[in-house]
Amino acid sequence: MKGNNTMQKGETSNGVEGMTVIVKTIASWVKVLIFLFGINIVLFGHLTPGGGFAGGVILASSYVLLMLAFGRKFAEKNLSLPLTSKLDCFGAFLFALIAILGFAFGGVFFVNYLVKYSMPLRLISAGTIPLSNIAIGLKVGASLFLVILSLSIFRLDASNKEKE
Amino acid sequence: MSVFYILLVFSVVAAIIAVETKNLLSSIICVGAIGVGNSIMFLFLKAPDIAITQIVVEVLGLIILIRATISRDLTFITGEREFFGTVVSVVVIFIIFLAGIKVFETLPAFGTPIFVKLPEVAAQTYIAKGLAETGAANIVAAVILDYRGYDTLGEATVLFTSIIGATVILRKKAKKLLDATDE
């Protein structure tokens, strides 16, 4: 990515190639921390504030950082568009499966049928609540990254020439 | 208590700047500042779940907005503001503000429990037996995923459907553009 001297007013240089070396170095360290923090918020959703929705958005934002710093093509090689949509559908299906299994095991739709096997205030406790949090976190994260990736593929400027 | 007034003044000033400025980027950053002020207010009002969700969604929405506007050629807002439209909006907002003041006068003080007169209502059961029945220390997670899990299923379905709708509309054009540039 050499110096691009043919930029018009308002056009950016970070369409496909990504940003400068400083941003790339820092982003490659920070995105792992953000991803780990998102997993922490999702997994401990029944003990600390957070839960599936906020944790899923944090997971998506780590991939958005990857896409902004390294360019869209690099992020697509890392987590392609069909795989993201499959993860999204899998998360939604897992959440519905937990609800239906509540009907199968407990007699009532969406009952918490695993709570009698656990002791409270541990990581593995509270029955189906951590499993639901994982499913929702996966679904929300994949959904938001899917939307941002699709918006980035389809982005026209005023002259309608290029696609980034 | 005074920290709430400081944050309120901060949010109001950011909102006024967001409306009045002519530079699109400054306007978007001021919208982000409103979100940050709201999130800190939620933190001081002892609602950490909402504070986390507010700040994270604010950041992601800000990124989407900035990406959508920087690539345009025109980053300044041109055109005049309609006089009649502005007057109608300000009058409606002022009437809603007056109604809101009347409603807020009837609320009890912050921190006092409001359901003590009705001990058999559902909220008292959640607080009293939440930890014992579900085993979750976070009562918010216990309510939205165990006691009211059906509402969360509806919310997840709404999110799923809206993402599918957006992706279907965007993929047709993206496929057309990708085919056009690959030739």
Q: How confident is residue B106, by pLDDT bands cut at 50, 70 and 90?
A: confident
State the average pLDDT over residues A33-37.
94
User: Three-state secondary structure along chain B?
Assistant: CHHHHHHHHHHHHHHHHHHHCCEHHHHHHHHHHHHHHHHHHHHHCCCHHHHHHHHHHHHHHHHHHHHHHHCCCCCECCCCCCHHHHHHHHHHHHHHHHHHHHHHCCCCCCCCCCCCCCCCCHHHHHHHHHHHHHCCCCHHHHHHHHHCHHHHHHHHHHHHHHHHHHHHHHHHHHHHHHHHHHC
Residue A77 lies in a domain: yes
Query: Rounded to 10 degrees, what is the CA torsion of A20, A26, A32, A34?
Result: -100
Q: CB-CB: which of A118, A136, A151 is closest to B170?
A: A151
Please name the residues between 99 and 128 in chain A that touch chain B, using a CB distance below 8 Å.
99, 109-110, 112, 115, 118-121, 125-128
Residue B157 lies in a domain: no
ipTM: 0.79
pLDDT in tens, A49-103: 988 899 999 999 999 889 888 888 888 888 888 899 899 999 999 998 988 888 8
Residue A15 lies in a domain: no
A34 shares contact with chain B (CB less than 8 Å)? no
Which of B23, B43, B56 would best serve as a mutation to test chain A binding (most A beta carbons within 10 A)? B56
Q: CB-CB: which of B49, B135, B174 is closest to A153?
A: B174
Please name the residues between 3 and 42 in chain B that touch chain A, using a CB distance below 8 Å.
none
Supply the pLDDT for residue B178.
67
Residue B104 lies in a domain: no
Full residue range of the structural domain in which residue A79 is found: 21-153
Cβ atoms < 10 Å from Cβ of A163: 20
Its pTM stands at 0.81
| Domains of chain A: total | 1
Residue A2 lies in a domain: no
CATH no. for residue B73?
1.10.287
Supply the pLDDT for residue A73.
84
pLDDT in tens, B6-54: 999 999 999 999 988 888 888 888 999 999 999 999 999 888 999 999 9
